[in-house]
Copies of this chain bind each other. A is one copy, B any other.
Amino acid sequence: MTVELISVGTELLMGNIVNTNTQYLAEKCALLGLSLYYQSVVGDNRERLGETLRTALDRSDIVILTGGLGPTEDDLTKETCAEVLGMPLVEDKRTHERIENYLKSNNFAVITENNWKQALVPEGAIILDNDNGTAPGLVLEKEGKTAILLPGPPNEMIPIFRKQVYPYLNHRQPELIRSKMIKVCSLGESVIEDKLLDLIDAQTNPTIATYAKTGEVHIRVTARAESEEAAKKLLSPVVKEIKSRLGNYVYSTKEHETLEMVVVDLLKKYDLTVTTAESCTGGLIAGRLVNVPGASDVFHSGFVTYTNKAKRKFLDVSKSTLKQYGAVSEQTVREMAIGGVFATESDACIAVTGIAGPGGATDDKPVGLVYIATYMKDKVNVEEYHFQGSRAKIREQSVVKALDLLRRSILENYG
């Protein structure tokens, strides 16, 4: 079965935003064993979208469209699909109510007439409720072809896809495809490929694919089989072999488990509390920990100490350390980690200080120099990194490495 992606949006054609939806959907389609040969982007234009959709429906079984479902006049993905497939638009009462409730509970003072445009659906469509916005997702089936319409914002698109479209496509795909994800931190993609080269070269079923993420690499092992049991039999030995080759760098083998979930789980397991002492990351490590529902069991408070004065006042970093070694140094990050534990009476602290740029570099301290430390059980672990890229990229990488150092320190001290 073939699938094709069409992203709709003038903001994509203008380069206002990066098209991340396509990568998400392409990865999921591969996971489902669907063959994807074409992706297109078109603007909010009835004629060009219509032409693109006709071409796509001609050559592929399923077309997934994202974007252009908003309430404004430019948004015409639904109208164009309805026209191309010859399905008239009718009002869906349940969607009308859902939109009304959504807008009311989000304190929209005025519900304007154009909001109700989103309650119109092509007759006979399967409606996919949207928990995070007003536009519903839609599945249109006609003469053996399928168009799936999803909202453009990833925080609306992804939950609809995961909960409603994935099961729908899985059901339509007769072949059984099962995969296992192995998530790795603190090892580069080429090092991983090197370690797994013979396995990758020999792959047929299961296949092995690596996906580079910020500071992480995800390895997907995928098998095609006739039964759950046969799939498991194909996957297990390969997954086991990869895990044994990569050791402690593997932080998870669960599809939806994030690095912060693993960290929070480990803290809970060993009944520990942690605090954060952040300089260049400026709250983002705390922000990641709080991503996990129930993080309050292990994370009570954290500090952003962005200036020397703040590091001294809240973390008791000594004036002489700051003067002698500077704010971005092994010595300072060490004192930050220890100070965090004492200020909060937590069991552990993760501390970060670095130069995210573009300013702040000196001859011996370039942009991208970052120190990360953990303190627990009277023991400090410090790591020094030299990251490349933009300010944002350096900070993102620092957050991932910090969470991973925390994970590895807990395993080392309590595991």
A interface residue numbers (CB < 8 A to B)? 10-20, 22-30, 36-43, 45, 48, 52, 55, 70-74, 102, 105-108, 110, 112, 114-115, 131-133, 153, 155, 159, 188-191, 193-194, 200, 209-212, 214, 218, 220, 276, 278, 280-287, 289-291, 293-296, 299-307, 309-310, 313-314, 344, 356-359, 368, 385-393, 395-396
Contacts and interface: CB of A to CB of B under 8 A. Distances in A.
Given A14-B30, A283-B286, 13 more contacts: A13-B30, A15-B26, A15-B211, A74-B210, A106-B387, A110-B191, A112-B194, A115-B190, A133-B389, A155-B214, A281-B287, A282-B286, A290-B306
B291 A283 contact: no
A106 B70 contact: no
Nearest to A132: B389
14 contacts: A13-B37, A15-B25, A15-B211, A37-B42, A38-B52, A72-B193, A74-B209, A107-B385, A114-B190, A131-B389, A131-B390, A276-B304, A290-B395, A303-B303
A303 B303 CA distance: 5
A11 B26 CA distance: 9
Contacts of A14: 26-27, 30, 36, 209, 220
A170 B307 CA distance: 42
Nearest to A292: B391
A203 B374 CA distance: 58
Given A105-B368, A190-B71, A301-B313, A293 B359 contact: yes
A36 to B, nearest CB: 5
B284 A210 contact: no
Contacts of A301: 303-307, 310, 313-314
The 4 A-B residue pairs with the shortest CB-CB distance in the complex, in nearest-first order: A282-B290, A283-B283, A15-B27, A15-B26
A15 B10 contact: no
B307 A290 contact: no
A199 to B, nearest CB: 12
A314 B345 CA distance: 13
Contacts of A24: 15
A286 B299 contact: no
A36 B23 contact: no
A45 B276 CA distance: 44
A280 B286 CA distance: 11
